[in-house]
Amino acid sequence: MDSINSNEGKKSEKHEELKLEDLYPFIEHMEKVLDELEDKIRVLPNVNKRGESECPFAEELYAYKEEMYEIAKKEAKKIGPYLELGEQEIERCHRNLEQLRVDTDSLNLEEAKKKYEAAKKSIEYQMNKAVNENGLLIKAAERFQELSKQAEEKVWPLGKPKRSGDRTDPKIVLEAVLDGRFDFRSPHNPLSRGSRPSAKMEIDNLLSLGPLG
């Protein structure tokens, strides 16, 4: 059993700051980041080369997408190191299982064999967990690559998009309009241009709008 314990906790210096117990929480975090990025891309309206769109806050939506894309790129850099950490865990489990097999063959006492069998089940569980988590990391990496293509294809045509000082995410406003929760008579309505009874009609099908001529 000493040979098994000697392999516990080994890490390369590269991953010294990473912890195995943080692997799954990171996966959950990464999935939320990618969900948010996908959501930001999904609501982007089409614009022409002059930055004109039927959406009155198109540039703001593009700005939010760019901000989320930068966050996703930063977080995605951690996928590789965590993947290597998971592979190290799988290799450790393989080594320990092999050592258990060798040691068990030389055991005579039934009590000792039971302890080794319990250790084997524990290591097999750890290995299966690491294999599953690595699979989720690979899926997250593939999803990030696909969303990156979409994010880089849908860009603001006039350079870096800017957003106003209003802290309200325009995506929230858009969703409120589409499901009828937005009050067009409110003075805080960013879509108001005096009296505009047709404002909701203009963005009712916002996600499918094409560029203006």
Q: Examine residue 187 and state whether it is found in any structural domain, yes or no.
A: no
Confidence of residue 174 (pLDDT cuts 50, 70, 90): low
Would you tell me the crossing angle of helices 58-76 and 110-153 to the nearest 10 degrees?
A: 150
Angstrom distance (rounded) from CA 66 to CA 153: 12
pLDDT at 80: 96
Q: Examine residue 173 and state whether it is found in any structural domain, yes or no.
A: no
Whether residue 197 has pLDDT greater than 70: no
Q: Examine residue 207 and state whether it is found in any structural domain, yes or no.
A: no
Q: Examine residue 183 and state whether it is found in any structural domain, yes or no.
A: no
Phi and psi at 84, nearest 5°, equal -65, -40
Whether residue 188 has pLDDT greater than 80: no
Place of tokens 């009712």: 204
26-40 per-position pLDDT tens digit: 999 999 999 999 999
Q: Examine residue 202 and state whether it is found in any structural domain, yes or no.
A: no
Angstrom distance (rounded) from CA 57 to CA 13: 47
Contact 65, 147 (CB under 8 A): no
**72/184: higher pLDDT:** 72
**116/46: higher pLDDT:** 46
Q: Examine residue 23 and state whether it is found in any structural domain, yes or no.
A: yes
Whether residue 106 has pLDDT greater than 90: no
Angstrom distance (rounded) from CA 155 to CA 149: 11
Q: Examine residue 195 and state whether it is found in any structural domain, yes or no.
A: no
Q: How many domains does the chain divide into?
A: 1
Contact 47, 39 (CB under 8 A): no
Nearest Cα to Cα of residue 89 among 141, 131, 47: 131
Q: Examine residue 46 and state whether it is found in any structural domain, yes or no.
A: yes
Phi and psi at 99, nearest 5°, equal -65, -40
* Structural domain boundaries enclosing 33: 2-6+16-168
Burial class (CB in 10 A: 0-12, 13-18, 19+), 80: exposed
Confidence of residue 18 (pLDDT cuts 50, 70, 90): confident
**63/178: higher pLDDT:** 63
Contact 83, 138 (CB under 8 A): yes
